[in-house]
Amino acid sequence: MRSPGFTADFGELWPWESMPAAQQPEWREHAAYGEVCRTLASAPPLVTVAEIQHLRWSLARLLTAEALILQAGDCAESFYECTEPHTTEKLRVIDTLGDRLGDLADRSVIRVGRMGGQFAKPRSQATERHGELSIPSFRGHMINSEIAAPPTRQINPRRMLWAYDASGKVLRAMREHRRGYGRMTALAGPWSSHEALVIDYEAQLVRRDSDTNDLYLTSTHLPWVGERTRHLDGAQVALLASVVNPAGCKIGPTATPDDVLHLCETLNPRRELGRLMLIPRMGRDRIQDVLPPIVRRVVNAGHPVIWVSDPMHGNTVKSPEVGLKTRYLADVITEALQFRDIIEENRQHAAGLHIEVAASDVTECIGGSVKGEDDLLRHYSSLCDPRLNVDQATELIEAWAKGVATRQA
């Protein structure tokens, strides 16, 4: 059954179908594949046109210093943590951090969760070692299991249906939470976001609005394209270029000013306000060299870009002693502040932060009460990248907001 407002588009060749898609699970031969895709194609949309339009309108305010954004959540969501209490707890953390940022910077803060669909991970290595064994890497609950015992790392397209159901649960709880804000809803969110990675899944949830004929990605409010899949001629960029949702794009240290300008032209050819968010994630040691010429090129071309810092993904290290991935809070803060300075030197608004943060008191990043590598072992539960705990995220936000407040004075 189709939902009111959306029409089916059977038989059309979509722009992304003729583009190569990086980082895809090879499951098209699986017996369940066809049925899963048909089921998703006829499933109700997870988000509405009105919500997406609302978010676009809110995001346009990030082009000036009027508002800030906090995009936060797990690196990879877990199917086991999509219950209403789990979602409420995650939203409480985003609210606590958003409120702190808003109070210190004296700005309203748009809240966006890395949640309600963040179930697929791009991986640099196809396999990982477990003692003597080499097994396929964990690629997010939409694709395989985190359990490191063969054969449970097999990919399974049915997981796309489970991801859809899990997202639905989270999104319903987020909608309830949004209602609780009352009149503040106009700005605050919380909105959903995830990396639009698995084309089989995302493509089935693209729908045409029968009033305007526009395409919407109905799996989330704010999809983004990751550093490993931001190819101009890639399927993920083509998909996000085809829909009217606001779109994010990560920008890593190998990006050139030309690459980024072309991404702006592809993802926002009509230069619409509130449409494109660029999320540099350069690393503390690279940002000073790489980001300034990119920002200059984009600004000189007159592209209205929302600039958001991901100070985490360029600062991941493997701890030599305990062998776990970690990040030093000091590096994260350094990159975030360098980002803000670079953006402001170019007379643009440094709109906010994109961070990985846990709702529980994890010890995955080093800083604050997590003093060294040995402390990492105390409570390390991330399915993928190391997340800040709430105290560490608060320290980052306070450092960021201090600069904003000083500039205002």
* H/E element, 404: helix 390-408
Stretch that binds ligand PEP, among 3-11, 48-56, 223-231, 375-383 (CB under 6 A): 223-231
Long-range CB contact pairs, 140-148, < 8 A, 24+: 140/76, 140/197, 140/383, 140/384, 141/76, 141/77, 141/78, 141/79, 141/166, 141/383, 142/198, 142/201, 143/25, 143/119, 143/198, 144/25, 146/78, 146/383
111 and 126 Cβ atoms separated by less than 8 Å: no
CB of 86 to ligand PEP, least distance (A): 19
Sign of the four-CA dihedral 387, 392, 397, 402: negative
CB of 313 to Co ion, least distance (A): 6
388 and 93 Cβ atoms separated by less than 8 Å: no
150 preceded by a cis bond (ω within 30 of 0): no
Residues in touch with Co ion (CB under 5 A): 75, 385
329 and 392 Cβ atoms separated by less than 8 Å: yes
Site string for ligand PEP, 267-306 (x = CB under 6 A): --------------x-------------------------
The token pair at 333 is 């803060």
- What phi-psi label fits residue 367: left (phi over 0), alpha (psi between -120 and 50 degrees) or beta? left
Q: Could you give the count of Cα atoms lying within 13 Å of 202 in the half-sphere of its Cβ?
A: 34
Between 107 and 114, CB nearer to Co ion:
114
Which residues, in sequence order, are bridge partners of residue 321? none
CB of 101 to ligand PEP, least distance (A): 20
CB of 383 to ligand PEP, least distance (A): 11
71-130: contacts with ligand PEP (CB under 6 A): 75, 122
> Does the protein bind ligand PEP through residue 253 (CB under 6 A)?
no
122 binds, among ligand PEP, Co ion, none (CB under 5 to 8 A by kind): ligand PEP
Choosing from 313, 327, 340, 349, the residue that interacts with ligand PEP (CB under 6 A) is 313
* H/E element, 38: helix 33-41
Stretch that binds ligand PEP, among 26-34, 100-108, 226-234, 365-373 (CB under 6 A): 226-234
Sign of the four-CA dihedral 327, 330, 334, 340: positive
226 binds, among Co ion, ligand PEP, none (CB under 5 to 8 A by kind): ligand PEP
Between 95 and 385, CB nearer to ligand PEP:
385
200 binds, among ligand PEP, Co ion, none (CB under 5 to 8 A by kind): none
CB of 380 to Co ion, least distance (A): 15
Please state, in angstroms and rounded to a whole number, the distance separating the CA atoms of residues 283 and 293: 16
327 binds, among Co ion, ligand PEP, none (CB under 5 to 8 A by kind): none
Q: Name the 3-class secondary structure at 191.
A: strand
Stretch that binds ligand PEP, among 199-207, 225-233, 241-249, 344-352 (CB under 6 A): 225-233
CB of 348 to Co ion, least distance (A): 25
227 binds, among Co ion, ligand PEP, none (CB under 5 to 8 A by kind): ligand PEP
> Does the protein bind ligand PEP through residue 171 (CB under 6 A)?
no
Between 73 and 189, CB nearer to ligand PEP:
73
Q: Name the 3-class secondary structure at 215.
A: strand
CB of 390 to Co ion, least distance (A): 18
Which residues, in sequence order, are bridge partners of residue 370? 367
> Does the protein bind ligand PEP through residue 227 (CB under 6 A)?
yes
The token pair at 112 is 């966006």
> Does the protein bind ligand PEP through residue 142 (CB under 6 A)?
no
Q: Whose CA is closest to 224, among 295, 290, 313, 154?
A: 313
CB of 408 to ligand PEP, least distance (A): 30
Between 60 and 240, CB nearer to ligand PEP:
240
Stretch that binds ligand PEP, among 7-15, 103-111, 220-228, 300-308 (CB under 6 A): 220-228
Residues that bind ligand PEP (CB under 6 A): 75, 122, 226-228, 250, 281, 313, 385
